[in-house]
A and B are shown apart, each in its own frame.
Chain A
Amino acid sequence: MFRTRLARGIAAGTAAGALLLLTACGGTTRDSVEEGGSERPAGEADPDAEIPEGLTISFLPKQLNNPYSTFANTGGAEAVEELNGEFKEVGPSEASASSQVSYINTVSQQGADAIVIAANDPNAVCAALNSASDAGAAIVSYDSDTAPECRDVFINQASAEGIAKTQVEMIVEQVDGEGQIAFLSATPNATNQNAWLELMEEELAKPEYSDIEVVDTVYGNDDDQKSFQEMQGLLQTYPDLKGVVSPTTVGIAAAARYVSDSEYKGKVAVTGLGTPNQMSEYVKNGTVEEFALWNPKDLGYLAGYAGAALSAGQITGAEGETFSAGRLGDYEIGPNSEVILGPPTKFNADNIDDFDF
């Protein structure tokens, strides 16, 4: 009884499916839809507009209680306070794609003048941001961009060129301008890291760096254990190695940990991109002289000013417009409505305790 009814159910289902496939001609397909990328309505910018007091600027990080975004938003709070506005930080406790939507709706309902968001998904937040924008909020993305048509301005933490150049400067200085160096990267197909590696090699090909030889690039897959072993392998393979650049926070920490417990401490330079909290131990014990990363606090600060400038009408997000961002000075909006924060910040024994992220 059970089996026959079951079989009948399955047969009916299959028949329905087949019928469906047969009728599947015509309809809305990916090719039939022309995406008329809706441009954001660009009003006239008034560079002399005053920033009014009491602007409500709401920051939506990817998730709350993440040291990085907490530190970034201290910068946002600083900017909003300087502008005599009201700073708000809201967001989900888990960094999921759609969880931010409810918060966007809420701050829009509360009448936010500007929303500063680090998007968990470039597209999932779009509809909500657009309706917030219709309700009068200026939209700034920072840290992690939304789809370009859903925000007025994106505050980019650093340009690839800036990141590559800073790392080259650091390693050249730390190996005194000559000798063998190697790269310890993330995964072989990591987009960011590959772009930086390429730019670093271009930079190192310049005549003034002719005494520097890049002997190898190894991949630690952004895994602590693997990065540690790769670092070990590098030092065994190249006994004359003078320095290692690791443009990934996992890699540089693993490399520093290996070197700090080995005979190479103080002899092999380790630098790259890392976070101050992870690296502070190795800077203080002399393993690492200097490393870099963008300063999240400045990122939040700049985003706060950009939101206020947009809300006041000083800028609309068009390329070439400029605005002033307090202690960071003046900024110009680049292509794609992007504003670049500037070269990364270098961290060393003198300043590392000022950063908590």
Chain B
Amino acid sequence: MAPEVTAPSSGQGAPFGPDRAPRGGTLRRLLATREASVLGALVVTVILASFWVDGFFTDRTAGFLILDVTAIALIALPMTLIVITGEIDLSVASILGLTSAVMGQLWFLGLPLETIVPLCLALGAVLGAINGLLVTVAGLPSLAVTIGTMALYRGLAYVILGDRAVADFPRSWTSGATQRLGETAIPWVVLLIAALAVVFGIVLHATPIGRSLYAIGSNDEAARFAGISVRMTKLWLFVASGAVSALAGVFWTLQYSSARADNAFGLELSVVAAVLLGGVSIFGGLGALPGVIGGVLLLGTIRKALELADVSSDTLSVVTGLLLVISVVAPNIVARLKERRRPDTPSVPAHSNQR
């Protein structure tokens, strides 16, 4: 491995020398986290794009950007918690699609939207609970379970709606979904995302439940012996993931005014990408919500800036892919470097010395 490779941004790029105290104050510790690197990269990207890309630094851009990443941002919240416990939910985009199909079909059958929306959210919770039960009661790996339900839920969506699209939702609802805040170009949905982010953030970072998630992710055997109800916790996380995915599905359907079975096909990968880019370890036990929000916004910003700069969508995929690889590889390289410079410290797993 090339030793000159460093993290994508400043935060973690400067490894501590052997003569400096590795734990030099709270600020330094804070700056050295992966969340800080992501947020730093976000700030740098925004500044660069504002200088180089015509028409980037406007509130219209911000408005479009937020609408573009709404579904990803919403689903990334519960996904963060799930990945921290060492599990994963790949069925989220299919839950979104199935919710959208059911919403379309119920509307088509003449139910009022005021009933459809709660029913859809409940459906999402049930779909999530099925995932959760298969993982906790049947004891199957979540990767396998949710790959299965990803196909299953998407298939059900096609059973319900086929290749039809239901599009005659009332205008008051569809334009309401993308309504701006006052005179700005910022959509109101940013408040919904922020509110949910605060809820998930508090649960994760300021409650015993949050601490137990990290414990489960680090070693769920030990967590169980410590008295944490591992199965119950995981089950509820999957329920939350299903419900939030359904919420994203309802929003998606109204935003695009189109209920289709193939809505958000492949979105689960964008969500997982944003979560990993945000500094959550795929092995569990590590990560924080602000980093994930930063990851979502970073991916969205890069995409928007390159689009405005007339970069083709293929190049865009290459850039996004590279960024992800770097974000996964860089911490490992940095960890190895640190290890090499401090041979006397006990060796630790590559991903566990950032917190």
Contact = CB atoms under 8 A, between A and B. Distances in A.
Contacts of B112: 24, 26-29, 32
Interface string B275-291: 00000000000000000
B168 A35 contact: yes
Interface string A48-75: 0000000000000000110000000000
A97 B258 contact: yes
Contacts of B181: none
B139 interface: no
Interface in B150-186: 165, 167-168, 170-175, 178
Contacts of A26: 112, 114
Nearest to A102: B68
A6 B235 contact: yes
Contact of B312 (A5, A64, A123, A124): A64
Contacts of B262: 96-97
A94 B313 CA distance: 9
Interface in B97-143: 107-115, 118-119, 122, 125-126
Interface of B (DSSP majority class)? helix
B256 A16 contact: no
B7 to A, nearest CB: 29
Contacts of A317: none
Interface stretch (A103-111, A254-262, A266-274, A319-327): A103-111
B312 to A, nearest CB: 7
Contact of A97 (B171, B174, B229, B263): B263
B10 to A, nearest CB: 30
Nearest to A20: B118
A123 B307 contact: no
Interface stretch (B53-61, B81-89, B332-340): B53-61
A28 B170 contact: yes
Contacts of B308: 106, 109-110
Nearest to A38: B171
Nearest to B114: A27
A2 B229 contact: yes
Interface residues of B, number: 55
Contacts of A13: 122, 125-126
Interface in A1-37: 1-2, 5-6, 13, 16-17, 20-21, 23-24, 26-33, 35
A301 B325 CA distance: 42
Nearest to B118: A20
B258 A24 contact: no
B258 A121 contact: yes
Q: Which of B61, B115, B122, B173 has the largest count of A CB atoms less than 10 A from its CB?
A: B115
A90 B167 contact: no
Given A17-B122, A33-B170, A123 B258 contact: yes
A98 interface: yes
Interface in B172-231: 172-175, 178, 229, 231
A105 B56 CA distance: 12
B173 A30 contact: no
B242 to A, nearest CB: 12
A244 to B, nearest CB: 29
B256 A30 contact: no
B64 interface: yes
A102 B308 CA distance: 10
A127 interface: yes
B178 A90 contact: no
A90 B310 contact: yes
B256 to A, nearest CB: 4
Given A27-B112, A30-B110, A94-B266, A121 B122 contact: no
A64 B314 contact: yes
Contacts of A105: 64, 68
Nearest to A34: B170
B307 A30 contact: no
Nearest to B123: A17
Nearest to B69: A102
B257 interface: yes
Contacts of A160: none
A126 interface: yes
Contacts of B231: 2
B110 A93 contact: no
Contacts of B54: 110
A33 B113 CA distance: 11
Interface in B227-258: 229, 231-232, 235, 252, 255-258
Contacts of B255: 127
Contacts of A97: 165, 256, 258, 260, 262-263
Interface in B291-346: 303-304, 307-308, 310, 312-314, 317
A121 B165 contact: yes
A88 interface: yes
Contact of B257 (A31, A33, A92, A123): A123
Contacts of B125: 13
B256 A101 contact: yes
B231 to A, nearest CB: 6
A92 B110 contact: no
Contacts of B108: 30
A96 B256 contact: no
B55 A124 contact: no
The 8 closest A-B pairs by CB, nearest first: A27-B112, A123-B167, A27-B114, A124-B256, A24-B115, A124-B258, A33-B170, A93-B313
24 contacts: A2-B229, A2-B231, A20-B119, A24-B115, A27-B113, A28-B114, A28-B172, A29-B112, A30-B110, A32-B112, A33-B170, A90-B312, A90-B313, A93-B313, A96-B265, A96-B266, A97-B256, A102-B64, A102-B304, A105-B64, A106-B308, A109-B61, A121-B258, A123-B258
Given A29-B110, A30-B110, A90-B310, 14 more contacts: A6-B235, A24-B115, A27-B113, A30-B109, A35-B168, A38-B171, A90-B313, A97-B256, A98-B258, A103-B307, A105-B68, A123-B258, A127-B174, A127-B256
